[in-house]
């Protein structure tokens, strides 16, 4: 369902999980090198809302590069204050269009912090 979208999941040359910008190949959001235990101090999230998806219905997809990002993305979807901060900055008419947002969240202990917007695209 996400094939051909501007932002998509990928891997860096050294096989770290990443989110890539197909319009700006130099824009890559990747996890830093993991600690020995496999944990990371940050995560990136890709949120996609497709008004007319291949299913024929609207679809919302949210996933992090690791589980902390997925948790932060889910919180973003269900907490009005988090959404309002981002959605208020989007151009008029975005609610009728497809939307992708790349988010970044720091991870403290076992909890992701409030995500911040890295980039968004609406069409």
Task: Say how many domains are in the chain.
Answer: 1
Report yes or no on 82 lying in a domain: yes
pTM: predicted TM-score of the whole model, two decimal places: 0.87
> Is 87 strand, coil or helix?
helix
Tell whether 23 is covered by a domain: no
CA dihedral 22→28→29→32, nearest 10 degrees, is 150
| pLDDT tens digits, 12-32 | 998 889 999 999 999 999 988
| Domain carrying residue 81 | 39-122
Helix, strand or coil, per DSSP, at residue 37: coil
Over residues 84-101, the mean pLDDT reads 85
Distance CA 40, CA 33 (A): 8
Please, which residues bridge with residue 62 across strands?
47
- Tell whether 75 is covered by a domain: yes
């Amino acid at each position: 369902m996400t094939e051909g979208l501007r932002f998509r999941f990928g891997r860096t040359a050294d096989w770290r999980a990443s989110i890539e910008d197909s319009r700006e190949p130099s824009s890559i959001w990747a996890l830093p090198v993991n600690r020995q235990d496999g944990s990371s101090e940050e995560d990136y999230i890709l949120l996609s809302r497709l008004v007319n998806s291949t299913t024929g219905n609207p679809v919302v997809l949210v996933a992090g590069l690791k589980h902390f990002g997925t948790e932060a993305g889910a919180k973003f979807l269900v907490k009005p204050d988090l959404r309002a901060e981002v959605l208020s900055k989007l151009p008029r008419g975005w609610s009728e269009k497809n939307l992708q947002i790349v988010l970044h969240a720091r991870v403290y202990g076992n909890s992701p912090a409030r995500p911040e917007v890295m980039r968004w695209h609406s069409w």
